Structures are given as structure tokens and as C-alpha cells.
Amino acid sequence: MLTAANNETLTRVGPGTPMGGLLRRYWMPIAGASEFDANPVRPVRLCGEDLVLYKDLGGRYGLVGRHCPHRRADMSYGYVEDEGIRCSYHGWTYAASGRCIAQPYEDTTNPSARSRHGCDILAYPVRELAGLLWAYLGPAPAPELPIYEPFTWENGFREIVLAEAPCNWLQCQENSIDPVHFEWMHDNWTTRLQGQRGPYAPRHLKLKFEEFDHGLIYKRVREGMDETSDYWTVGRVALWPIGFFLGMHFEWRVPIDDVNTLSIAWFFMRVPKGREPYVQDSIPAWMSPIRDAQGRLITSHVINQDIVGWVGQGTIADRTKENLRSSDVGVGMMRKRFFDDLAAVADGRDPSAIIRDPAAARRVRLPNMMTGYCVDGVALADHDKHPLLKARLQGFRHHYGQPEHIRRAFERAMGIGAH
Ligand code: FES
Ligand SMILES: [Fe+2]
């Protein structure tokens, strides 16, 4: 349980709020780079700020304020040039740094260096990594952008899936340190949604939560397992501060504002042994709908089920009314670490998991029970022996609505299906 004041502190992310100040100190993934091939300009809202993300004709990404400094026109209707983005109203143009680099009428009739004074647009740095676009909204100097080891894996089919959940980011992220929900929200609910009464999945018998440099780890023993299981010896990672790492995929819960969250996930599936080299030219990105035609939340896929959990807690979960028990020890640890990080920022120190050393950022290893499969691969015939690999070949079960052409590209990469 939290007091109303503490709940307020942890959930509000707008400019000038303590939590907004903390989260702005981390690079956040905000889009798939391939989304900008067809349409190079897009409005985005991040931590309560209205911005425009674009790719200019020179291939540079930029993230600028929504309104033009001239007379406030909407930059999401701007168009990109060789360098930067041009406002469609009177043609003023801005580089990715935010610098105003053209004022066509003034430049023609009244050229003066002074004319551009005070006309720069708000701008934030953007980087591309692993097919994702990452933004940094915090104070300079920006920390290193961590290159997590899975981003360096080869011979895999990768895809990026986005969805928007109409609720606060923190309840989404608390789901990253919640092992027991797998049993009920994914395993057993799926059984029931498929019309079967059972059998229900193995119960959780034992949990352990640990802290490490890059976040929190949870470990579990379920019926039919013992402490030699990877689920107990390795565990899974709530990646600091807004991520979740599950071995073959990452999920991030990016605050759009206090009441909306962008779920952005990055998936990797190693091609079967013998199908190397596999080189993917571009990482596809797609938007997954969260509601059906009746307006009900979609329940058929894993992250859609999570979204039912998140959204069901209310727009901003009222943590004065909850009853935490032993399954929720990790949730308490997560909240404490956020409060510790808020104190660090207030003291002028870096919060946890910030990397300043470029060498340390180059390959950030995370606990992962799937590394062997993802790096070395296994023969197609042996995928059946591993439940996670088997399920990935059968269909994309994480998000509803995978476009057919992406499924076909996946099947071609894996050497399955009628291709
Ligand atoms: S309002 Fe943008 S150029 Fe005039
Ligand atoms: Fe889940």
C-alpha cells in the first residue's frame, strides 16, 4: 500500500515532476525505425510533452517540439528536407539540434544573423539501436545508450510491436516483477478462454526477488520443477526503469503522459541451425490493437492479457486501496528503488542503472536462460523439445493482430509453412 501522496509522486511524469525528472534521465524507446520509411513525420507524446519525431532526407532522426517557434503551427504537418524539418506554414526549417536553419522570407529580403535569435525549437536527441528509436529528454550530458547483449545477436528474425494502453505507466511496469500472474492471467485464463475447464497449470511454490545493477530479478519454483531449474537459478529481469526482459524479447512501458502508456516490445527468434546466415534488412514494426469491435479489451494474446491487467487497475491505480502479500514483495522492492532513485536525483547524483562508461555500455549482459538457443540455434526438428521455441514457431502469441506479411517473412526465415 502507498499513501495517496506517495502514489502521486511515483505516477506523475510531466515536466517538473520528481518522477518525470527521474525517468527523463534514461533513454526511452519510442518507435520502430522502419515506421519512418513510409511516413517520415509523426506526432508523439512523451512524458506529457507534445513532440514531433521525424527522419530527414539525409537519414537523420530528430525529435522537436510540436509547435513552430514562428507562429505556433503544428510541426507534425511539416515536411522533411535534406537536413531537418520544415514548418509547412511559412517554411522555417529546424535541424535535429533544434537550431533554426532557414527563414525563407527573411533570408531573401532581410538577411540578418539576428533574425534567427530566439527562434530555435525545443529538440531532444534521438538514436537508432536494434531497429528502435530511442529518445533522451533529460539534462545534458546524456548517459550512454545501453547495448543489451540480445541487440548484438545475429541470425534472428526480429520484430517490434507497439500498443497504447489507456492507463498510467507504473502499473504496467509493476507487472514486470509479478511472477504469479503468469499462472493465472496467461496459463489458466488462456485454458479457460479456449473453452477448457483444465487442467490448470503448475502452481507457484516459491519466489525470490533480487536486485542487480540493471534492475530486479524474480525467480520461481512451480510444481514439477526444483531449484535446479533455470527459472530458479537464472530468473527473469525487470529492467530498470521501464523495461522487462524475458530471454527472447524485451518490453518497455513508456509513459505517454500520466494516463497513457506506450507498450513497445522487441522480439528475437533465432533461425534454426543450418539456416545461417540469415540477415534481416529491416526490422518490421507494427501496431497491435487492444480493443475488439465491441470496444472490449482483446484477451487472446499474452501482452493483450497483460493490458487487461494494467487497464483494469484504473487510469492511475489507487494504491491506497491495495493489499500486498508475499507474491508482491518485488513490487515493494521496485517502489523502494524508485524512491531511492528520486532521492539520488534530488541529491544531484545519477539514479541506478545509468551507464556513463562507453565500454560498459557496449555489451550489457543480462541474466538469460535462453542465451544458448538464441546464439547457437537448434535444429528445426528439436524446437519441439523446448516449449518456448515450439510456441514461437506455431504462431505469434504475444500480441493480437500480427500482419500476414510479417508472419510470412517469419516463416520464410524459419523455413516453415508453405513457402
Ligand atoms: S508558423 Fe511555422 S513558419 Fe510560420
Ligand atoms: Fe504477463
Pair (289, 198) in one structural domain: yes
Model confidence at 417: pLDDT above 90: no
CA 338 from chain center: how many Å?
Answer: 18
Does 12 map to a domain? no
Model confidence at 419: pLDDT above 70: no
- CA 299 to ligand 1 centroid distance, Å: 45
Does 142 map to a domain? no
Does 112 map to a domain? yes
- List pLDDT tens digits, range 161-192: 999 999 999 999 999 999 999 999 999 999 99
Domain boundary (130, 164, 182) is at 130
CB 412 near ligand 1, within 6 Å: no
Pair (121, 168) in one structural domain: no
> How many structural domains are present in the chain?
2
Please tell me the number of the ligand nearest to residue 70's CA: 1
Write the CATH number for 55.
Answer: 2.102.10.10
Q: What is the pLDDT of residue 187?
A: 98
Give mean pLDDT, residues 55-80: 98
In percent, the amount of the chain with pLDDT more than 90 equals 98
Does 310 map to a domain? yes
- CA 109 to ligand 2 centroid distance, Å: 60
Pair (370, 224) in one structural domain: yes
**Residue of 74, 76, 87 to test ligand 1 pocket, by largest number of atoms within 8 Å of CB:** 87
CB 79 near ligand 1, within 6 Å: no
- CA 49 to ligand 1 centroid distance, Å: 20
* Distance, CA of 265 to CA of 286 (rounded, Å): 10
The phi, psi pair for 308, rounded to 5°, reads -60, -40
Nearest C-alpha neighbor of 245 from the set 367, 106, 348, 86: 367
Pair (122, 213) in one structural domain: no
Q: What is the pLDDT of residue 80?
A: 98
The phi, psi pair for 351, rounded to 5°, reads -75, 180
Atom 1 in ligand 1: which residue has the minimum CA distance? 71
Q: At what angle do helices 4-11 and 329-346 cross, to 10 degrees?
A: 70
CA 390 from chain center: how many Å?
Answer: 25
- List pLDDT tens digits, range 296-332: 999 999 999 999 999 999 999 999 999 999 999 999 9
Pair (181, 103) in one structural domain: no
* Distance, CA of 21 to CA of 104 (rounded, Å): 37
Does 81 map to a domain? yes
Pair (222, 276) in one structural domain: yes
Domain boundary (82, 103, 130) is at 130
Does 25 map to a domain? no
Pair (230, 376) in one structural domain: yes
Pair (251, 378) in one structural domain: yes
Residues 6+ apart with CB under 8 A from 182: none
> 415 to each of 78, 218, 277, 418, how far by Cα in Å?
43, 35, 13, 9
- List pLDDT tens digits, range 350-387: 999 999 999 999 999 999 999 999 999 999 999 999 99
Pair (379, 240) in one structural domain: yes
**Residue of 86, 92, 120 to test ligand 1 pocket, by largest number of atoms within 8 Å of CB:** 92
Pair (58, 179) in one structural domain: no
- CA 45 to ligand 1 centroid distance, Å: 21
Pair (125, 154) in one structural domain: no
Does 292 map to a domain? yes
- CA 6 to ligand 1 centroid distance, Å: 42
- CA 242 to ligand 2 centroid distance, Å: 15
Write the CATH number for 214.
Answer: 3.90.380
Return the ligand 1 atom nearest residue 92 CA: 3
Model confidence at 113: pLDDT above 90: no
Atom 3 in ligand 1: which residue has the minimum CA distance? 90
Model confidence at 418: pLDDT above 80: no
**Residue of 68, 75, 119, 121 to test ligand 1 pocket, by largest number of atoms within 8 Å of CB:** 68
- The boundaries of the domain holding residue 401 are 149-414
Return the ligand 1 atom nearest residue 71 CA: 1
Rg (CA), the chain: 23
Pair (154, 125) in one structural domain: no
Does 362 map to a domain? yes
- CA 183 to ligand 1 centroid distance, Å: 54
